[in-house]
Amino acid sequence: MKVFEEMITALKTLNIPVADNIEFKVVDKFPKRSTLGNCSQRETKFIIRVRSDLSDSIFRSTIAHELIHTCPGCFNHRSKFKRYASKVNKALGLKCGYHEVGPQNLEKYKYVIRCKCCGTLGAYNRLNNKLKMIALGLPGIKCAKCYGNQFEFVNGSGNAKKLKEDFEEEL
């Protein structure tokens, strides 16, 4: 609870309008293994749940991420959320706006993309619309860190030509 209160204070100090009515719970696991935390709303109350098995820095980043969801207009990951997350990341040295993948754990993922503008990596185990759009060269996907729109598949994790062929077969 102490870390949670510290994060609320830190975000409010940065003039981030975190909600006042928040219930915080630490949980052992989520149905989806990759989920680190979540934020839900019931009437006027927000409920934030964060996994108990996280390292201190990831725990803090996850709390900050979920707290940002309690701000007006931030119950998604759109521009307002990203602005607040960027502000928190810079001021507190956290990574709360997006999941940044390091080179040490790339082999865990089936598909890895890199932003050609800033080098941020994104990792996925399932094909999704974002990956399809990148493989097909369609516009509309932006980097969560720099808002660039140029991506490449890296470390053999998704031969763009092969993915394009697979997607065209689905159509």
Return all residues near 138 (Cβ < 8 A) that are at least 6 apart. 132
Query: What's the pLDDT tens digit per position in 22-55?
Result: 999 999 887 766 678 899 999 889 999 999 888 8
**Residue that terminates a domain, selected from 33, 66, 92:** 92
Assess if residue 113 is contained within a domain.
yes
For residue 22, the domain's CATH number is: 3.30.2010.10
Q: Whole-prediction pTM value?
A: 0.61
Same domain, 119 and 65: no
How far, in Å, CA of 143 to CA of 150, rounded?
8
Is 11 in contact with 64 (CB distance < 8 Å)? yes
Give me the domain span that covers residue 119. Answer: 103-170
Strand locations in the chain (E) = 22-27, 37-42, 45-51, 111-115, 121-124, 151-153
Q: Indicate whether 134 and 113 sit together in one domain.
A: yes
Q: Which one-letter amino acid corresponds to residue 37? A: G
Reported as a single tens digit per residue, the pLDDT across 118-166 is: 888 777 777 778 888 888 888 888 887 778 888 888 765 555 555 556 5
